[in-house]
């Protein structure tokens, strides 16, 4: 059985090395929709794959990108300095912040969160199936479990600014998945 949970965030970025001059040469933003698809081989005692309340850390993760500048680690030092000087909410990430990059990044991180989620209600083999990131109303990218092989980074390559970390209800959730 498969369940889906939807999250949203507003974010800004530059997508370097893409075909479009507008995207690769200008800071711009989107209203993102992140869909998380979770599967299990059985239902829990409540006849659910898992209770959505157990996705509170996923919500915290996605919310960390809300009204945030996603800064690709490969950017120039000059741009990095500018971004950090004029933005309090910065997520420095090891992938280009395209819809595909976000989908892979979220797949990787949400998989780690689910692996560290305690299940107490008779859940089965709960697994992340895919993550779909809508960048616009007409386009999205979806990363599947098998796409984890494309990950060439680790969790230590992802940095959230102090302003983001200060808003976390419990900053130990991030350390718990590291």
Q: How far is residue 137's CA from residue 139's CA, in Å, rounded to a whole number?
A: 6
2-176 under CATH 3.40.50.150, yes or no: no
User: For position 171, what pLDDT does the model report?
Assistant: 78
Biggest CA-to-CA distance, the chain: 54
| Model confidence, pTM | 0.96
The single residue of 92, 100, 123, 135 carrying the catalytic annotation is 135
CB 36 within 8 Å of CB 13: no
User: For position 117, what pLDDT does the model report?
Assistant: 94
Using one digit for the tens of pLDDT, what is the confidence trace for 10-46? Answer: 999 999 999 999 989 999 999 999 999 999 999 999 9
Using one digit for the tens of pLDDT, what is the confidence trace for 103-159? Answer: 999 999 999 999 999 999 999 999 999 999 999 999 999 999 999 999 999 999 999
- For residue 69, what pLDDT band results from cuts at 50, 70 and 90? very high
- Please confirm, yes or no, whether 18 is among the known catalytic residues: no
Which two structure tokens, joined as six digits, stand for 9? 């965030």
- Please confirm, yes or no, whether 135 is among the known catalytic residues: yes
- Please confirm, yes or no, whether 123 is among the known catalytic residues: no
- For residue 86, what pLDDT band results from cuts at 50, 70 and 90? very high
Residue 170 has pLDDT above 90, yes or no: no
Which two structure tokens, joined as six digits, stand for 92? 């420095």
The single residue of 35, 60, 67, 167 carrying the catalytic annotation is 67
């Amino acid at each position: 059985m498969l369940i889906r949970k939807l999250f949203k965030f507003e974010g800004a970025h530059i997508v370097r090395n893409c075909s479009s001059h507008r995207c690769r040469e200008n800071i711009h933003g989107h209203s993102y929709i992140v869909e998380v698809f979770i599967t299990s081989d059985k239902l829990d005692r409540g006849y659910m794959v898992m209770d959505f309340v157990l996705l509170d850390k996923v919500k915290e993760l996605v919310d960390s990108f809300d009204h945030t500048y996603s800064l690709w680690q490969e950017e120039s030092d000059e741009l990095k300095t500018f971004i950090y000087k004029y933005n309090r909410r910065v997520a420095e990430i090891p992938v280009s912040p395209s819809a595909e990059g976000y989908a892979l990044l979220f797949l990787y991180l949400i998989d780690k969160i689910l692996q560290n989620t305690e299940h107490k209600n008779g859940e089965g083999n709960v697994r992340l199936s895919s993550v779909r990131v809508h960048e616009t109303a007409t386009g999205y990218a979806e990363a599947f479990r098998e796409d984890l092989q494309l990950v060439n980074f680790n969790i230590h390559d992802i940095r959230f600014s102090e302003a983001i970390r200060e808003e976390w209800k419990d900053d130990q959730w991030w350390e718990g998945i590291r």
